Structure 1
Amino acid sequence: MPAVPSNPHDAYFRHVLSRPADAAGEIRAALPEDIATRLDWDRLELQPGSFVSPELRSRYTDILYRTRLDDHDAYIYILVEHQSRPDQFMALRMMDYLVKVWNHHLDTHHKPSTLPAVIPLVVHSNGTGRVWNTPTELADLIDLDPAARAALDPYLPRLRFLLDDLAALDLRALRNRDLTPATRVMLILHKITPGNTRLGVDLLALTDDLQAILDGPRGEDEFHCVTRYLFLVGDMATIDFDPLIDRLGPRAKEAIVTTAERLRAEGRAEGRAEGWAEGRAEGRAEERANTLVELLNLKFGPVSTGVVDTVRAADPAQVRVWIGRVLAAASVEDVFA
């Protein structure tokens, strides 16, 4: 069960929430208090792999934790949903994934006589601000008249998943959550980065959390993850980081430059470093085009040469619009609609 997210949004989300200390705050914020107080947070243990089918890994990423609930084995299953339109059949998908978790538990434990509790949590985040508006309970998907529903009620599946709808939260609410700096920055960047042309200024509100990340035990490496996401998803050039660098100092500047160099070495954006370093209009246009092609490849798989030619021939302002659509789009065609 490989767990390799195929787009930068999911990769960043999984990177942060795969650490128990960073995941705990986000999970606590989504759970009812009477459940949260019963969990053993000190025994939160990340489980390997993914339960999402390969064809859907461009749309979802998932994380499984094992812990204890009232001294019984229990799991917390987190599914991240980044699409612009909530999945109408998410409750059905969650049932499928929970059955896979239970089967995995049966396969890896010696003749258990019961099944552990699995707490299902969907974290919904997108760059459009569209809130969740589809059923969170499997029984609500079943087409029945009211009288038939009442008669069948004892026999209907009762699965209901917990929902943390980040799209419905404003930035103040996110900042006030009891989260680690890494988790708070990650959640806020998922809201403010796509299509934001003034991101360099908006990042200043995260100065304290970014400073805490830099000062942490894996400071430079963790800061690289932040800037990598910003370069891949945001409309950012190195010059746009200058106000933030003025506050964070030379370590931040070194990390930003190193990230740009790594992306160039990986072939993420041919010629991008020159555009960033010199701040030239021509380099910025090429950087945006390369970023869009990279995002399309990450989310939808390798795109055709015709799509690449269209992107490179387009006006820079149009490319910026397309970049803003990638996160919400369900297909390549939606980006260019």
Structure 2
Amino acid sequence: MFEFHPANPHDHFFRRTFDVLPNARALLKSQLPAELVAKLDLQSIQPAKETFLTATDNESRLDLLFTARLLDGTSLLIYLLLEHKSWVDRRIALQLLKYVLRIQEWRDRNGQPPCVVIPLVVYQGTQEWDEPTSLRHKVNADQDLQGFVPDMQVILVDLGGVKSSFLPELPELEARIRAMQIARRPELPYQSTVAIFELLQGWEKSDSQNDALNDIVVYLCSVFDAKNLHWLTQAFRAGQAPGSGKLMPNCLEALYEQGIEQGIEQGIEKGLAQGRIIGSIQTMQRILDLPVTPEPELLSRSLDELRAIAAQLESSAGKR
């Protein structure tokens, strides 16, 4: 069974994509500095067994952690941290410093020396990223004082700027990244969706392409409303080779067989309720002269979380 309307579909799809080790390795190979890639044993990249998120961390945060080693066999341990962001997070510099500190503290408690940590922030939002990822760039201090500010290098990957065909040997990964690029648009772009399905013409013979196809259809159906189900079906057919006579993928068949259109319509109603609460939250924040939380950040919250935030603000307003 497919999870047709997962909570936080962007994070869900991101994890489904980069939990696949070849995809994670390919992304790191393409985005890490060339001089580091030349020294790195790419086949040594593996998911880390440890997790450094705590129960107090925001549930909308998504982190994937990997370990690696150098080609010369150096015992140096490198952690590769990917942090997925769907909006411009003004706290990113502090979040990353806190995360890296947890890693170093854990190693110290276990009798291990400090290690190199390479943070990659993968950004999928619509607005231009304009937030410094370095704490040193956020602190207003003279040049001779900057050296006292804790700092580290961060690699920012803006998915909107990733060019097509950057990894021709992995068409399923390119298709997934293209899906993430179009998923932030207000409407489903038909021709761009056809181009995604053209990359996956081998889906019947390739497990990885079949998985990618199913994940992409579920993802786009979760992000866009029910009227786009017909367009998705047409885009899939247009993206197949002429005369191929291929059947519909399981996920598209199941969308009809399980009456998922009704489920998507219910999701739309949920989205309308979510929008009303978000509007109330932002209005009360303005009334209380508080920083207004960006809409993308609020959209990543569940309805229960939004109701709790609204109730807290209403309580604060009542005490004034």
TM-score, normalization by structure 1: 0.69
In structure 2, what is the Cα distance between the partners aligned to 1:255 and 1:17? Answer: 20
| Amino acid aligned to 2:224 | G
| Amino acid aligned to 1:87 | D
In structure 1, what is the Cα distance between the partners aligned to 2:264 and 2:297? Answer: 15
| Amino acid aligned to 1:166 | L
Match 1:186 to one of 160, 165, 176:
176
The superposition leaves residues 78-102 of structure 1 with CA deviations (integer Å, 9 ceiling, x where unpaired) of 000111xx11221111011112223
SS of 1:64's equivalent in the other structure is strand
In structure 2, what is the Cα distance between the partners aligned to 1:119 and 1:180? Answer: 24
Match 2:246 to one of 236, 246, 250:
250
- Alpha-carbon shift at residue 10 of structure 1 (Å): 0.6
Aligned pair count?
Answer: 272
Matched, 1:101 2:103: yes
Match 1:161 to one of 122, 139, 154:
154
The superposition leaves residues 181-226 of structure 1 with CA deviations (integer Å, 9 ceiling, x where unpaired) of 2322222112212445343432111233222455323444442212
Do the aligned partners of 1:46 and 1:66 also contact (CA within 8 Å) in 2?
yes
Q: Comparing both structures, which one devotes a greater share of its residues to helix?
A: 1
Q: What are structure 1's unaligned runs of at least 5 residues?
A: 265-271, 277-285, 298-302, 308-324
| Amino acid aligned to 2:122 | V
Aligned pairs for 1:1-337 (under 5 A) are 6-48=7-49, 50-54=51-55, 57-69=58-70, 70=72, 71=74, 72-83=76-87, 86-107=88-109, 109=110, 111-112=111-112, 114-126=113-125, 128=126, 130-144=127-141, 146=142, 149-150=143-144, 152-167=145-160, 169=161, 173-177=163-167, 180-235=170-225, 236-238=228-230, 240-248=232-240, 249-259=245-255, 261=257, 264=258, 272-273=259-260, 276=261, 289-293=265-269, 329=299
TM-score, normalization by structure 2: 0.72
In structure 2, what is the Cα distance between the partners aligned to 1:253 and 1:217? Answer: 12
In structure 1, what is the Cα distance between the partners aligned to 2:223 and 2:66? Answer: 28
SS of 1:215's equivalent in the other structure is coil
In structure 2, what is the Cα distance between the partners aligned to 1:49 and 1:11? Answer: 20
Do the aligned partners of 1:207 and 1:244 also contact (CA within 8 Å) in 2?
yes
- Judged with a 3 Å threshold, the aligned counterparts in structure 2 of structure 1 residues 238 and 330 are, in CA distance, closer, same or farther, namely closer
- Alpha-carbon shift at residue 68 of structure 1 (Å): 0.3
Do the aligned partners of 2:197 and 2:235 also contact (CA within 8 Å) in 1?
no
The superposition leaves residues 136-180 of structure 1 with CA deviations (integer Å, 9 ceiling, x where unpaired) of 212122232x2xx41x2333212121111223x16xx13334572
| Amino acid aligned to 1:121 | L
Identity, % of aligned positions: 19
- Judged with a 3 Å threshold, the aligned counterparts in structure 2 of structure 1 residues 29 and 220 are, in CA distance, closer, same or farther, namely closer
- Alpha-carbon shift at residue 49 of structure 1 (Å): 5.9
Q: How well do the aligned residues superpose, as a CA RMSD in angstroms? A: 3.2
The superposition leaves residues 277-307 of structure 1 with CA deviations (integer Å, 9 ceiling, x where unpaired) of xxxxxxxxx665423355689xxxxx69x87
- Judged with a 3 Å threshold, the aligned counterparts in structure 2 of structure 1 residues 123 and 243 are, in CA distance, closer, same or farther, namely closer
- Alpha-carbon shift at residue 119 of structure 1 (Å): 0.7
